[in-house]
Amino acid sequence: MFPENSDSGANVLGKSAEELRAWLESLGEPGYRGAQLYHALYAERRFDFAAMTNLPTALRERLAREAAIVLPKVVRRYESSDGAVRYVLELEGARAGAKPANIETVFMPEENRQTVCISTQAGCAVDCRFCLTATLGLVRNLTVGEIVAQVLVALEDHRASLKPQTNIVLMGQGEPLLNYDAVMSALRILLDPNAIAVSPKHATLSTSGIVPGIERLAQEKVRPKLAISLNASSDEQRDRIMPINRKYPLEKLLGACRKYPLRPWEWLTFEYVLLGGFNDSPDDARRVVKLLANLRAKVNLIPWNPGELPYEKPDAARIEEFRKIVTDKGMMAFVRYSRGQDVMAACGQLALLESAAAQPVLAPPS
């Protein structure tokens, strides 16, 4: 049987190669079958034991009787005019006692690659004031299988048109570093060349700034790139839109970033959602440059997406002025326009609009 804190019974999705080996041995099967099952599941994306032709027929039949591959159900699929697809996925109560929940995943095709944006929690407790997901509160943490399955579902849905490179971004619902163990176990499968084989250079974990999580991530052998959701140029301003800043203020957060062991090819990314009239002034830009001095960092400026929350879309000239002030000081800065805005798949817009819980309840920052 699988360890107690993993998915219920014999759902094999989310299991590591080592867990599958140990489980098959406990059933009296040869351990090496675990590696074959692992490959069929994640590298070949076979979601039916009968289709796992690298396993003997008798084992396939046994697995069909004694195990399951539990994928979330696609309850809605919204296709944007820019090609992005937003999936609303219904999670089963895959763990004993787990609450049923819906989450969202976004697939974004590009010329030579695809990017899958995945959720790590259903809802979120961090309560960023510009984020629709925050209005849901935290429903529950996702399991390893539920995190991995989002990538598998999105890739499988586009099997015929996949490009050679897949990027993954942990920027959907939830704060990844508050579901640390499941997120890291999922990443070990996603980044494993024998499984889903995403390059660590093409995987990005975005955090609101959970300092102990950043310090833990720094110790990991296999890890994605790190992005910090900054969104403000001072503690006073950040406190107003990201209450987590009171717990981990900028000095602590940027201190952890300065100690973070970057690989030779790696840069930290600071995301900065430009909220028109709130954090998009030239003075804000100058303060951001000062804050990030001496960090190997780039800044992604994300103009606010008009959604249900009470902020303005920033002015195009102001966006450009902000970008120029940052780049003139020698720091890389890019303006990122979110994909899939017409299906509410953009940053800060993942909140199950069909859910009654997603009614906007927040006041604008004063």
Interacting residues toward ligand SF4 by CB under 6 A: 124, 126-128, 131, 133-134, 173-175, 208, 229
Cβ–Cβ < 8 Å for 250, 237: no
The CB-side HSE value for 27 (13 A sphere, CA atoms) comes to: 20
User: What are the strands, taking DSSP E only, across the chain?
Assistant: 73-79, 85-91, 101-109, 113-117, 121-123, 138-141, 165-170, 203-207, 225-229, 268-274, 297-303, 332-335
For the bound state, the minimum distance from the C-beta of residue 276 to ligand SF4, rounded and expressed in Å, comes to 18
Return d(Cα 302, Cα 336) in angstroms, integer.
Answer: 5
Return d(Cα 108, Cα 114) in angstroms, integer.
Answer: 6
Residues 19-30: b if buried by 16+ CB within 10 A, e if exposed: bbbbbbeeeebe
Cβ–Cβ < 8 Å for 190, 155: no
For the bound state, the minimum distance from the C-beta of residue 119 to ligand SF4, rounded and expressed in Å, comes to 8
For the bound state, the minimum distance from the C-beta of residue 121 to ligand SF4, rounded and expressed in Å, comes to 8
Q: Which two tokens stand for residue 78?
A: 């919204």
Closer CB to ligand SF4, 146 or 175, in the complex: 175
For the bound state, the minimum distance from the C-beta of residue 272 to ligand SF4, rounded and expressed in Å, comes to 13
For the bound state, the minimum distance from the C-beta of residue 133 to ligand SF4, rounded and expressed in Å, comes to 4
For the bound state, the minimum distance from the C-beta of residue 95 to ligand SF4, rounded and expressed in Å, comes to 22
Chain centre distance of CA 124 = 12
Return d(Cα 214, Cα 229) in angstroms, integer.
Answer: 13
Dihedral of CA atoms 295, 328, 284, 244 in degrees, nearest 10, equals -20
Closer CB to ligand SF4, 11 or 173, in the complex: 173
Cβ–Cβ < 8 Å for 85, 107: yes
Task: Please list, in sequence order, all residues whose beta carbon lies within 8 angstroms of the beta carbon of residue 190, skipping any fewer than 6 positions away.
Answer: 148, 151, 168, 196, 198, 203
Return d(Cα 139, Cα 132) in angstroms, integer.
Answer: 14
Closer CB to ligand SF4, 29 or 175, in the complex: 175
Q: Residue 350: which of 141, 162, 170 has the closest Cα? A: 170
**What is the set of active-site residues?**
104, 347
Closer CB to ligand SF4, 34 or 172, in the complex: 172
Closer CB to ligand SF4, 6 or 229, in the complex: 229
Closer CB to ligand SF4, 34 or 213, in the complex: 213
